[in-house]
Structure 1
Amino acid sequence: MKLRPVIFGLAAAMLLGSSVPASADPATALPARLSVSGAHVLDPSGQPIVLKGYNWGHWGTVQPQDPGDHVVAGANSVRIPLRWWGVWKDGVDSRDTTAPGHISPSHLAVLDQMISQASANRLWITLFVDSDYGQGAGGHPDNFWTKPEMKQEFKEVWQFLVRRYKSTPYMGAFEILPEPKPAGVNDDGVRAFYDEMIGVIRGIDRRTPVVVGPNDNYSCSHLEGAYTTVDPKVIYTCNYFIFDKPLNRIGLITDFRSAHDVPVWINQVGVESGDVDAKSKARSVLQAFDDNGIGWAWWTYRLNGTNPDTHGIYYRDPADPNGWILKPGWLALVNGFLAA
């Protein structure tokens, strides 16, 4: 099945210097927020909510129909990226030291658009700021632990974003920095970084939960080292890419959750489509999440590449750079667990 994207313009509210509208009447109360109580994330009515949805992980690939399709399938959340200070193909890096918030105006407009689309469809948004350099990926010598001036810039990025979106409806959580792996920095050092960043965010917004994860590329085996007491509105996360032993990390997650009475949500779960028994493994993991009340975001909805055997519910049509090809079996599989 091939679908061609709809080309659309940015609304006037997304122009440089404007922010996503918070509500029709600025004099009304601030929009409702998620909260944390023990091991549960609560919706604004105080009822437990298990956040489930997709990643819009590949920059600039979201189509106008996507958020509505997620809602129809049963999703209640979406994870949205901003890539900042790193090496990515196709000009994905949004860093611009001369711009407000050190964010390229063109990238900010795209981010505004994604957040507006998700918010309008009542999907709880997890906004994450990725930084290949900052997190120390590949042992990069310049990162947020070795370059204080870059950590300060990153703080200013988050200050800008929190001010911009703190009154946006359905802003679910701020995920500070995914997949840290700075060379020579132990779990305590990574946790100290998150604690400091939580303080930066709480200086502007005390309501919206924050998401933190463990050292070693968000390894579930390092969850214990991520535990913090600096803030009660913390949602913990780790990666769950699916390999030969698909259920080998479920106990790590549930044990950590029980030991500290805190919520754990999986920011990325996925498997390459060409892997042996990929669909069977994916079903077993998503069923285990459902059985244990673990929320998740599938990696990823649209893949900015032409290989059908990697991640993605949609991938690029190699014969048409503006076209998309759907993997219908994978859409049915993941959507089936969204509705559960």
Structure 2
Amino acid sequence: MSRRIPSTPGCLAVLLSVTILSGATAEDAVMPSASSETICTFDTPEAVSAQRTAVPGDGATLGFSAEGRRSSGALTITAPGRPCRLILDLDGHLAPREGVLCSAWVAVAEAGTGARCTLTAHRTTADGRRTSDHLADIPLAHDRWTLLSGWVTRSGVDQRTTLVISAPAGTTLLVDDLRITSSGIPHPLDQRPPLRVAGSRLVADGEPFLLHGVNLSAYSGDEADDPQHALGSIVADDYRDIAAAGFNCVRLNLWHRVFHEANGWAWLRVQHRWATMHGLRLILDLHSPPGGYQSNEYRGSFWTSPEQQQQFIDFWVQLAKAYADAPGIAALDLMNEPLPPDESTWLALAARTLSAVRKAGWDRPIIVESSMRVDGWSETSPKLDDPGVIYDVHFYMPWEFCSQGASTYGQSGRGYDGAVIDAAFLRTHLEQQLLLFARKHQVPVNVGEYGVSGKTLGCGGDRWLADMLNLLRDNGVHAQYFCWTIFDDFALNSGWHRQDPAPRREVLLRLLDRRAK
């Protein structure tokens, strides 16, 4: 979907009345009852005037441009000499311990301002105390739209919560596709059959089902970041676009801090609802467990901390109980790229976790990844004593090729020349890391991550992906591409700051879509 930036911010199709919001003297704005997917959506002037939920602040003027992101236009906010502010009143629509995700596409009418746009939550308690939470801060562009999004939860003591979208004085802020989605909206009826392990296959109501998905990250890659980096990183349109791209599942990368510090359980209900609405199944992947993200560079205390290990098990027990009857959850992925002191330590913890989750009522697939201390699930690797396990590896072979040019992990690179690196090379390594084990034990297998840096597209990355997809298909391997967005080097779409129009790696998307046909 293309968005068009208004060329003249003063060209308003409809000029709405100005409302001042200043403390107790403000006129309360009222939202309609939450009977649909979102509490409110502002995409026409009629919707704004009818709902009267969004009001300009500090003498700002709220207008409507006929030349917006969609044919219906975009809101324009001007406040000569003052910051532009759009104030969203959540009063009466945010129950205690529930949350809302606010998202909007924003731009600035003036070129060369270097302006930024912020999203802030302001809370007032019953005794009159006021606090503010910074949710998002993004650069504004004149020639394209940028996604602004953030998550806010109401605590038990909050009396009133408002969200404020703000831009500096001297700018004309353009806002479009403004959505406020609540975790309290009931989940849609999901009549799909759940997935089950049947020998070496997954089945849905007895019919074979192959997971073909993409990673969607709610983890920033930095344990020191605010949980808002995760909570605001995914919006409803992601699930719509993923389904349209031909995928049937999402491997949702979860961060332990979101659940321990920011009511991630309410946030997860929103993700589950969006996935269900678009016919996608979710793999819930604990990408960063208590103690921090693992993988090759892990230096944390998880493996020597009984407390953190118990928190890990307790998380999965709680999740299993919450989603035991949710057929849209394809599988639980216990830990992303575990780095234990040795393989046996991880297998012992995985066995304890499997037992606890099964006792909690989860009778569907559970993914166990190979330890980073060994080279995948080899033919001699031990099999876990649970018939519902999917065995998983991540595959970026050779790493020097797949990661070249990447800002975080990048290597100097090499070409996919059809000689040293070719389809036979990929087959040999996947056989050693996964396929021989799968044939020996007749178990289902998954590649939870695979992909190439965008810098490989000039030296054979598309051929690597085509060969990899053929290899996965021919061997019945479930797989999820890494990734949809956020990590820009590997992402199929724009990364940290989502922009529109933005370059998409259409060559890779076409190859991935072809696998689904």
TM-score range, shorter chain: 0.7 to 0.9
**Distance (whole Å) between structure 1 residues aligned to residue 512 and residue 372 of structure 2:** 27
**Distance (whole Å) between structure 2 residues aligned to residue 110 and residue 324 of structure 1:** 27
**Distance (whole Å) between structure 2 residues aligned to residue 199 and residue 297 of structure 1:** 26
| Residue identity (%) | 20
1:162 aligns with 2:302: no
**Distance (whole Å) between structure 2 residues aligned to residue 223 and residue 179 of structure 1:** 19
1:270 aligns with 2:441: no
Q: Does the CA contact (< 8 Å) of 2:396 and 2:451 recur in 1?
A: yes
**Distance (whole Å) between structure 1 residues aligned to residue 194 and residue 200 of structure 2:** 17
Classify 1:257/1:127 alpha carbon distance in 2 versus 1 (closer, same or farther; 3 Å).
Answer: same
Partner of 2:376: 220
Classify 1:64/1:123 alpha carbon distance in 2 versus 1 (closer, same or farther; 3 Å).
Answer: same
**Distance (whole Å) between structure 1 residues aligned to residue 347 and residue 448 of structure 2:** 18
1:210 aligns with one of 360, 366, 387: 366
Q: Does the CA contact (< 8 Å) of 1:303 and 1:313 recur in 2?
A: no
| Greater fraction helix | 1
Classify 1:148/1:199 alpha carbon distance in 2 versus 1 (closer, same or farther; 3 Å).
Answer: same
**Distance (whole Å) between structure 2 residues aligned to residue 249 and residue 198 of structure 1:** 28
Question: 1:237 is paired with a residue of what secondary structure?
Answer: strand
1:123 to partner: Cα distance = 1.5
Partner of 1:117: 274
1:4 to partner: Cα distance = 5.1
Classify 1:226/1:239 alpha carbon distance in 2 versus 1 (closer, same or farther; 3 Å).
Answer: farther
What is the letter of the counterpart of residue 465 of structure 2? A
Partner of 1:241: 396
Partner of 2:512: 334
1:302 to partner: Cα distance = 1.1
Q: Name structure 1 gaps, 5 residues minimum.
A: 15-19, 25-29, 85-92, 97-102
1:321 to partner: Cα distance = 6.5
Partner of 1:76: 248
What is the letter of the counterpart of residue 42 of structure 1? V
1:41 aligns with 2:202: yes
1:313 aligns with 2:471: no
**Distance (whole Å) between structure 2 residues aligned to residue 293 and residue 263 of structure 1:** 9
Matches within 5 A, 1:1-340: 5=147, 6-13=177-184, 21=187, 23=189, 32-43=193-204, 45-58=205-218, 59=230, 60-84=232-256, 93-94=257-258, 96=260, 104-105=262-263, 107-131=264-288, 133=291, 136-137=294-295, 138-143=297-302, 145-182=303-340, 184-185=341-342, 187-216=343-372, 219-220=375-376, 224-225=380-381, 227-229=383-385, 231-243=386-398, 244=401, 245=421, 247=426, 248-252=428-432, 253-275=434-456, 276-305=459-488, 310-316=489-495, 324-337=502-515, 339-340=516-517
Classify 1:135/1:198 alpha carbon distance in 2 versus 1 (closer, same or farther; 3 Å).
Answer: farther
What is the letter of the counterpart of residue 238 of structure 1? V
Question: 1:75 is paired with a residue of what secondary structure?
Answer: coil
Q: Does the CA contact (< 8 Å) of 2:188 and 2:276 recur in 1?
A: no
**Distance (whole Å) between structure 1 residues aligned to residue 332 and residue 508 of structure 2:** 28
Classify 1:298/1:311 alpha carbon distance in 2 versus 1 (closer, same or farther; 3 Å).
Answer: same
Residue by residue over 1:144-203, the C-alpha shift from the partner in whole angstroms, topping out at 9 and shown as x without a partner, is x21001111112211222222222231111111110112x32x22211110000011111
Classify 1:264/1:314 alpha carbon distance in 2 versus 1 (closer, same or farther; 3 Å).
Answer: same
1:226 to partner: Cα distance = 5.5
Classify 1:73/1:326 alpha carbon distance in 2 versus 1 (closer, same or farther; 3 Å).
Answer: closer
Q: Does the CA contact (< 8 Å) of 1:136 and 1:180 recur in 2?
A: yes
* TM-score relative to the length of structure 2: 0.54
Question: 2:308 is paired with a residue of what secondary structure?
Answer: helix
1:254 to partner: Cα distance = 1.8
Question: 1:215 is paired with a residue of what secondary structure?
Answer: coil
Q: Name structure 2 gaps, 5 residues minimum.
A: 3-143, 148-176, 219-229, 402-420
Classify 1:198/1:7 alpha carbon distance in 2 versus 1 (closer, same or farther; 3 Å).
Answer: farther
Question: 1:225 is paired with a residue of what secondary structure?
Answer: coil
1:214 to partner: Cα distance = 1.0
Classify 1:7/1:327 alpha carbon distance in 2 versus 1 (closer, same or farther; 3 Å).
Answer: farther
Question: 2:217 is paired with a residue of what secondary structure?
Answer: coil
**Distance (whole Å) between structure 2 residues aligned to residue 12 and residue 211 of structure 1:** 27
Question: 1:13 is paired with a residue of what secondary structure?
Answer: coil
Question: 1:111 is paired with a residue of what secondary structure?
Answer: helix
Classify 1:228/1:159 alpha carbon distance in 2 versus 1 (closer, same or farther; 3 Å).
Answer: same
**Distance (whole Å) between structure 2 residues aligned to residue 312 and residue 165 of structure 1:** 29
Q: Does the CA contact (< 8 Å) of 2:396 and 2:450 recur in 1?
A: yes
Question: 2:209 is paired with a residue of what secondary structure?
Answer: coil
What is the letter of the counterpart of residue 51 of structure 1? L
Q: Does the CA contact (< 8 Å) of 1:83 and 1:131 recur in 2?
A: yes
Greater relative contact order structure (CA < 8 Å, 6+ sep) = 1
**Distance (whole Å) between structure 2 residues aligned to residue 118 and residue 233 of structure 1:** 23
**Distance (whole Å) between structure 2 residues aligned to residue 261 and residue 161 of structure 1:** 28
* TM-score relative to the length of structure 1: 0.79
What is the letter of the counterpart of residue 179 of structure 2? F
Q: Does the CA contact (< 8 Å) of 1:73 and 1:335 recur in 2?
A: yes
**Distance (whole Å) between structure 1 residues aligned to residue 435 and residue 378 of structure 2:** 13
**Distance (whole Å) between structure 2 residues aligned to residue 120 and residue 317 of structure 1:** 25
